[in-house]
A and B are shown apart, each in its own frame.
Chain A
Amino acid sequence: MTAPLLEIDRLDIGFGPLSAVRGASLQVRRGETHCLVGESGCGKSVTALAVMGLLARNATRNAVSMRFDGQELMGLDEKAMSRLRGDRMAMIFQEPMTSLNPAYTVGSQMAEVMLRHRGGTRRAALDRAAELLAKVRITSPGMRLGQYPHQLSGGLRQRVMIAMALMCSPELLIADEPTTALDVTVQAQILRLLADLQKDLGLAILLITHDLGVVARTAHHVSVMYAGQVVETAPVADLFANPMHPYTRGLLSCVPVPGKVRPGDPLGSIPGMVPRVEHAFAGCAFRQRCDLARPDCAGTIPRRDFAPGHDYLCQIEPAALVTA
């Protein structure tokens, strides 16, 4: 097996007294989509921002290591980081309207990425932009280059964002809820496009989402986050067939699946709320909401292996969980 393109080893992110991410580890390989799934506030977006070196100033970031193609990102200065960002690693965000500059045309924003990282003429950069707009299946790319973001529909804007992210042929694409603001038919089109681009270009994609449908249909591997920790990691089929962590199980039971839950029957739900996690927080953060919690859940929680590539963070042994 090849070395992972992105390898995060025990990442911690804090905001003042609060701990946003606690010891999160994950790996993304070339040509693969790794989904980071969880609910609001679980730390999935800040994990992505930490990789890109885009955390807010008041955040603290620590990790045993965070390597991109073998290169250590921790301790890399801003100048070196900004050379990587937009070039070898790129990011697309949820709301394309707020991440595109309303005052510049699509063409000039896209060309800027190329000029900044690769230099060359503006003409060549605009040609590259037109080529990529066509690649993300935008019709009449020449005309679109001269348009402003507000003249485009939501789906088109997200395609422009994707095209812009691809300007310098990145190896890693981080997509933070890329289809959450879009209609279902457009969502399917955008996700298909990402999958096709991945096949063509061998992209590694770190896809952040709260939508288990998106996870099931796009991921190769999945990491489930809860209260700042990766509570379970597994190949996608394994995760849906054998969810181990009680939180993963709860999450899967909350979604109405046609044929599994009869219309009108109550859906599964998780009682209570995510706790506030400060730096001294000890034990399992899910224990107050968990049916299976025991006294030792307040202690140190081991990471347990269930199957190759499938581990979870829980006091309870696999054998006991399988029958639970």
Chain B
Amino acid sequence: MSSEMTDTTDETLIETGFSVETDRGREPTDAEGIVRSEDLSVYYGNERALEDVTIEIPENQVTAIIGPSGCGKSTFLRSINRMNDRIESCTVEGELTFHGKNVYDDDVDPVALRRKIGQVFQAPNPFPKSIYDNVAYGLRIQGRADEVDLDDAVERALKGAALWDEVEDKLDESGLDLSGGQQQRLCIARAIAPDPEVILMDEPTSALDPVAASKIEDLIDELVEEYSVIIVTHNMQQAARISDKTAVFLTGGELVEFDDTARIFENPKDDRVEDYITGKFG
């Protein structure tokens, strides 16, 4: 764990030794959320992975989703951009809206939806193409490569992903030649290049070493000025450090508590959440 925990004498310390940085320069807003779900249940075959989840995720903030393994947090993330459609046995009940529109309506094409909601995966998965082609991929498949200055867009995305300085001389080398942390930042650059509105991150640092992970965390802090970030993590310190809002899922796919991150970690309402955060459960 990080060393800063030990020398914090802040009153935000709870018995577990958590330090929560509450002043993030952004006030939690009550504005209409960009992504909302209403009684969302997701099934794999007959098995229920999510149970009646109702949540409103704010725009331009970092929303962390935490919970023990198998609690449905990744399932929830994948149901936002309908990547669950790729799993044959998966069925969805209830509503999930993006800008007020239910994305499971018949007139919503998941391909279009995913062009507005990008995703970064747990393990870095760059394409076996050059760094440049990886970043340009989104604009190219969307047929926008001719409308924009592609070189400029690639440079901006790589800068946005804090990778430009490391790769500007080798844009035509394979993305697979980069280190794991660089690959993950390349995947972030790939996701932001077509300028989506929401970025979903599914445990984006769990396959990385601590240094690479902290770079990604710093990056998320900057991304949120332009994008709404929803991040699944099993690392509670990470959720506390980087998120504005935190949703706690518990086994059975139930959303137990959703609130400002500071409140979740300082003063959770639900005893089970307190147990989970203090490590008594999960």
Query: Do A and B actually bind?
Result: no
